[in-house]
Chain A
Amino acid sequence: MSLFVIAILCLIFVFLGSAVIGLLRGGREGSDRMFKALRMRIILSVLLFAVLIFAGFFGWIEPNSFNLLPTQ
């Protein structure tokens, strides 16, 4: 579950990066690319937040449960 969350976060970053390229290109085309990438990123973000809320509500993940620490 945690890995899924991180994967979506990475995907959001990819769209954010794509938006910068649109910003850089400029013009009609760049503007389109930027707008679409930003729209995708906000849709994904809202989805991710919804997933987190649901997962928390149904107890699929607990806050601060992802632990790499050794058991002592």
Chain B
Amino acid sequence: MSNEKYFVPHGTYWPIIGSIGISTLFVGFANQMHDVSWGWPVMVLGFAIIAFMMFGWLGTVVAESVGGMYNSQVDKSFRWGMSWFIFSEVMFFAAFFGALFYARVLSVPWLGGADNNMFTPELWEGFKATWPLLSTPGEVGQSGVAFSTNFKLVDTWGLPAINTALLLTSGVTLTYAHHALRAGHRNALIAWMLATIALGVIFLGFQITEYGHAYHDGLKLTSGIYGSTFYLLTGFHGFHVTVGVIMLTVILYRIQKGHFSMENHFAFEGVAWYWHFVDVVWLGLFIFVYWI
């Protein structure tokens, strides 16, 4: 069943619910950071509203899709939307990678007196510009935070390498799942999807373990620019893996329900691309944060 006309939905409450949810989350978060007692509960409430909105909104869209209300042009709109959403994600990570490169290539050497900055060593006596920056120029930040320096670096060949192997393997299993879907091998598809999700979950577990070790060894958010870039890059990546695992689980559920055909499985393709993207971002992290 397919419609000739472009499907324009009629009236919706989900966006306003989403706005209320996200504002609640942010207001709660801001208050939590200012040590207001009701910050946490409000944050959780906002999060719950967003989750409710996501389930409701996406549920409606899935129902409409399965109900055959979308023609090929609507399908194309979703494809455009997903592609450019992905591009915005690329630019978001680019900002943090940009910060990392700027610090490594320009500002840390400048602090150490490179180029025409011969007076900076006078400001911070004994400061050595190295990367990873194990000791910060000052001991206390402008905001009064005491920097956690002389931390032990995460061993590149420990958990990070294992995690890279895990995530790359999940990319391989997802590719097999993709192939199985296109070839119409339902059981193989479900098995490969399960493997992908499992690998993603194990990755997240190891990442949390690694954070624990790093914190124990003194590498914290307060470890100067190295800790800042390390945690924000890996942290946002971990957040995206979490989102990816949730999306893969939803896709697996929809596979069980028989929502996809060999020809038409845009939702699977979108999520698969997202997973590959998250995987490549990790490879970039592994190389630039842990390696080079």
Contact = CB atoms under 8 A, between A and B. Distances in A.
A binds B: yes
Contact residues of B: prevailing secondary structure: helix
Interface string B172-183: 100100110010
A64 B132 contact: yes
Given A23-B82, A34-B269, A38-B273, A68 B104 contact: yes
A35 B86 contact: no
A66 B178 contact: no
A42 B168 contact: yes
Interface in B258-285: 263, 266, 269-270, 272-273, 276-277, 279-280, 283-284
Contact residues of A: prevailing secondary structure: helix
Interface in A18-72: 19-20, 23-26, 28, 31, 34-35, 38-39, 41-42, 45-46, 48-49, 52-53, 56, 61, 63-70, 72
B109 interface: yes
Most chain B Cβ neighbours within 10 Å, of A9, A23, A25, A34: A23
A67 to B, nearest CB: 7
Given A23-B83, A63-B291, A38 B175 contact: yes
B292 A5 contact: yes
Interface string A1-24: 010011001001100100110011
Interface of B: 72, 75-76, 79-80, 82-83, 86-87, 104-105, 108-109, 112-114, 128-132, 153, 156-157, 161, 164-165, 168, 171-172, 175, 178-179, 182, 263, 266, 269-270, 272-273, 276-277, 279-280, 283-284, 286-287, 290-292
Given A41-B280, A69-B108, A70-B109, 18 more contacts: A5-B287, A6-B292, A9-B287, A13-B280, A16-B276, A23-B83, A28-B263, A38-B273, A42-B276, A45-B279, A49-B164, A49-B283, A53-B161, A63-B156, A68-B104, A69-B129, A70-B112, A72-B129
Interface of A: 2, 5-6, 9, 12-13, 16, 19-20, 23-26, 28, 31, 34-35, 38-39, 41-42, 45-46, 48-49, 52-53, 56, 61, 63-70, 72
